[in-house]
Amino acid sequence: MERTCLAIILAAGESTRMKSAMSKVLHPVAGRPMISHVVEALASASISDVALVVGRDAEAVSAAASTGSVTVTSFLQKERLGTGHAVLAAREAIARGYDDVLVVFGDTPLITAAPLKEARDGLAAGNDVVVIGFQTPDPTGYGRLIVEDGTLVAIREHKDATEEERRITYCNGGLMAIDGRRALDLLDRIGNANAKGEYYLTDLVEIVRSLGGRAIAVEAPEEELTGCNTRAELAYIERLWQQRRRHEMMLAGVSMIAPETVFLSWDTELAQDVLVEPHVVFGPGVRVESGAIIHAFSHVEGAHVGAGATVGPFARLRPGADLGPKSKVGNFCEVKKAEIGAGAKVNHLTYIGDAFVGAGSNIGAGTITCNYDGVNKHLTRIGANAFVGSNSSLVAPVTIGDGALVASGSVITDDVPADAVAFGRARQEIKPGRAPVLRERYEAEKTAKKKVKAAD
Ligand code: UD1
Ligand code: CA
């Protein structure tokens, strides 16, 4: 029979070292709270019973953890007395009786299913406590794993470690699996006689051994267990996350010319044969279909880019931008909450907001949809195969029919019927032979000014 499992996420810490007005587990990695990444990893390891220990910002942390299919039950740790104390906040859940109890930290967002599974395999193999460790050249701050003859003898917190122990580079990743039948008994034995006066979860190793049980450490890649205590570590974690996801995307058929300059969100979807040029930023909610090209220096957020469409260079797609297949949004264009039909072109220096642009239409350089009157937003509808001349202002609400033509420089305030031509500007006047007259006058003015200056 399959072993039952309860995961406990610890997220009640004060986040003192983060120096922030909010709990560190709410700080985003790839545009989503750290804690959501941890829950996602549990889901991908098919762990569905999750207890979340919250303290600071309890409501917001619980909300951020309730993502996807996982049911998360929150437990409040009223005082912050350490990781050992925190786990016991979920006493009620542990008491339900599970084969495996898995403790993970809310501040290790790069964790994946693999080490979670390894930890549980260690329990299935008959160990009482399994700790996931990692090797790092810079172990400062981490608890050190003291291993003798293949068994884990103790975990020594940095602050409590001797000089010699501090030289150990094998560290506690904060992921611990405990025999669920013994968990409460073991946890209740943790004391607080240490440098910080806290109840350390890590003491479980020595406790279980003193009772004749066995603890082991299993090594996992450092990257997955990198913990976030400071802003500098947050930036490092972001970098690792980005590297990992870019790599996955490239292996899945996405081309990136300079991947290290492309920034993805947790939910960015790029189809096979999408090309992303250097210096592109994807905010949340982006889906790009096959064959599309995102040219350099574009910023794309909450947008859908259809197959074979091109974006940029220097384009901004804001939430609700929906680009049809083979459409084009070119340099210095901004599109918000607008559909750009198949093959339509918005090539230069344009703002399209709250609008529909029909298939095959051409929107000239500098066109602006004037969607906002200072109070309300209004819609602009442009039909199929319409042509809007350069530097036109389309004052919404307004409709431009299929095949219509708007003269360049127009301010369009009334609807334009299909196939009509609209001029919305003053007519040009010609004054034959007038240029030399004007020029003479200007020269005279200049000379007069010079004379006044000399007299001063
Ligand atoms: C902890 C480990 C250390 C390990 C490191 C890995 C202990 C005693 N130390 O140290 O061995 O190398 O993580 O990243 O376990 N928390 C609570 N309530 C508390 C205290 C903490 O919920 O009272 C939560 C925090 O929100 C955090 C997690 O537990 O998500 C770890 O706490 P933190 O203070 O970051 O522990 P470290 O000092 O990093
Ligand atoms: Ca930590």
SS3 259: helix
pLDDT of residue 68: 78
The ligand 1 atom at the shortest distance from the C-alpha of residue 54 is 22
Topology of the domain comprising 231-422: UDP N-Acetylglucosamine Acyltransferase; domain 1 (2.160.10)
Q: How far is the CA of 106 from the centre of ligand 2 (A)?
A: 8
Residue nearest to atom 35 of ligand 1 (CA): 229
Q: Is residue 240 a contact partner of residue 260, using CB atoms and an 8 Å limit?
A: no
- For 252-287, what is each residue's pLDDT tens digit? 999 999 999 999 999 999 999 999 999 999 999 999
Find where tokens 């292996």 sit: 251
Pseudo-torsion of CA 444, 447, 452, 456, nearest 10°? 170
> Pairing between strand 293-294 and 275-276?
parallel
State how far the Cα of 379 lies from the Cα of 13, in Å rounded to an integer.
Answer: 48
Estimate to the nearest angstrom the gap between the alpha carbon of 45 and the chain centroid: 21
Domain boundaries, the chain: 5-225, 231-422
pLDDT of residue 282: 98
**Average pLDDT over all residues of the chain:** 97
Is the bond into 417 cis (omega within 30 degrees of 0)? no
Give the global pTM: 0.92
450: left (phi over 0), alpha (psi -120 to 50) or beta: alpha
Sign of CA dihedral 103, 106, 107, 110: positive
The ligand 1 atom at the shortest distance from the C-alpha of residue 24 is 26
Nearest to 196 by CA among 234, 160, 231: 160
Just give the CATH number of 5-225.
3.90.550.10
Structure token digits, residue 207: 């406790």
Percentage of the chain beyond pLDDT 90 is: 97
Is there a catalytic annotation at residue 37? Answer: no
Q: Which residues of the chain have pLDDT under 50?
A: none
53 in ligand 1 pocket by Cβ < 6 Å? yes
Structure token digits, residue 13: 């810490």
